Amino acid sequence: MSYTPHTPSDIRAMLEAVGAKDLAELVKVPDDVALRAKLELSPALSESEIACKFTALAARNDAPNYASFLGAGVYRHYVPPVIGALAMRGEFLTAYTPYQAEVSQGYLQAIYEWQTYICLLTGMDLANASVYDGATALAEGAIMAVNATGRQALLVSKAVHPNYRAVLGTYCDGLEVEIDELEYLPSGTTDFTNLNDKLAGGKYAAVIVQSPNFFGAIDTFPKNTADAVKIGVVAEPLSLAVLSTPRDWGADICVGEAQSFGIAAAYGGPHVGFIACTKEHMRRIPGRLVGRTVDNAGRNAYVLTLQAREQHIRRERATSNICTNQAHCALIATIYLAAMGATGLRDCALENLRLAQATRKAMLDVPDVTARFSGATFNEFVIRVPGSAAETLEALRRKRVLGGLDLGRFYPELDDCILTTATELTTQADIDALQAGLRSVVPTLRKKELAAAR
């Protein structure tokens, strides 16, 4: 039987209803926004010619030839080959949403194990099946706190990743939730002076702190924080292999980004966000959860449960309509964690810490380079250079060294500061190149700074 959705008479009836003469008029693009000029497209190429063209374009990417100390929320870590071998199997690759009721037990088990790993790392009671990225995870966690308390204000540390705060601001603007900020201290950690006085009025739904924070400093909530949901942000989850869990430092809700677990930096994406919480907030967590039970034969069975989305419950009762992260990314992170194991993950984290300390020492050995903050760090830290950070980084780039992030992009008062990152992929040759670059660049910038001050 043929399937014709719209017959000519149907189309005529619909056009009459909207007052359009024909389909061309219905889809007409207004002249003030339409592109009428002829596009200058290259001539058609054969398959082999196209392959040559893209090979030449790929050859222009010489990023691997640079020593890179970039991080700031996107981290360059080793991706074991086992991830590609397993994650790219046909059973896991599907264009179909892989968490619907009819999904395979294998995929449900993979999501269940992802949730379990996140709980083990964060110390929380439960985690969901992932969300888009760390920034949306923070926004969704904040909404959980607003719903839990009925309050319309948040208190956020300025040391939380600026991009995360920007996404949070977008969410909160639509919900008419006010955001106030906590300053940072000379240690690089959050200034909690008079926090309980600020919370005493019952204005704030949550206090939000990141650790390690955007400056790399290890941050925590103060003890006896009064009457507000505490949300801990983890942008570099590898740190959880050697640092105390967000549950230990007092978080009720933990959100973060798991790109470090086997997902290549790939110039900024894709990412995989996570949300975990205590049992108290179990029915407010967004997205989906996979639970484990037994079937009528007593065998393990995995099922979707606690889906408080508007697809499943009344719209006004839905906690959120955010979708699960592209679950393939969560699968990759799950395979990575299984392959590394607790010991491997801890060894990798310790290597990050060792190389960060070696990099920091090498930079501080350069005259006129100083530490900006005094707090303890994991694999990122901030140094101050003479003049501007942007000028220093550009001079280093010409020497094929990507020295880090210019913090002046986000904090105008830190325009002479660089956020530098080391991972297990950082080599001694990289560190030597960075130090040599600074030794040749800094004296010139220092003279320039002194001349400008006269």
- Kindly state the percentage of the chain with pLDDT values over 70: 93
* SS3 state at 402: strand
Q: Read off the pLDDT of residues 133-154 as tens digits, 9 standing for 90 and up.
A: 999 999 999 999 999 999 999 9
- Predicted pLDDT of residue 292: 92
Q: Where are the beta strands (DSSP E) in 165-259?
A: 178-182, 206-210, 229-234, 253-257
Alpha-carbon distance 281 to 128, whole Å?
A: 12
Q: Read off the pLDDT of residues 54-108 as tens digits, 9 standing for 90 and up.
A: 999 999 988 889 999 999 999 999 999 999 999 988 878 765 655 555 567 888 8
Q: Pairing relation of β-strands 417-421 and 405-406?
A: antiparallel
Q: Read off the pLDDT of residues 247-290 as tens digits, 9 standing for 90 and up.
A: 999 999 999 999 999 999 988 788 999 999 999 999 889 888 89
Q: How many CB atoms are closer than 10 A to CB 318?
A: 15
Average pLDDT over residues 342-371: 97
Q: Pairing relation of β-strands 206-210 and 229-234?
A: parallel
Q: Which are the contacts of 443, defined by CB distance < 8 A and separation ≥ 6?
A: 367, 368
- Predicted pLDDT of residue 260: 96
Task: Tell whether the model's pLDDT for residue 397 goes beyond 80.
Answer: yes
Interaxial angle between packed helices 162-175 and 134-149, expressed in degrees from 0 to 180 and rounded to the nearest 10: 40
Residues making up the chain, counted from first to last: 454
Interaxial angle between packed helices 389-397 and 428-453, expressed in degrees from 0 to 180 and rounded to the nearest 10: 130
Nearest one of 128, 126, 76 to 330, comparing CA atoms: 128
pLDDT-based confidence at 321, cuts 50/70/90? low
Alpha-carbon distance 143 to 139, whole Å?
A: 6
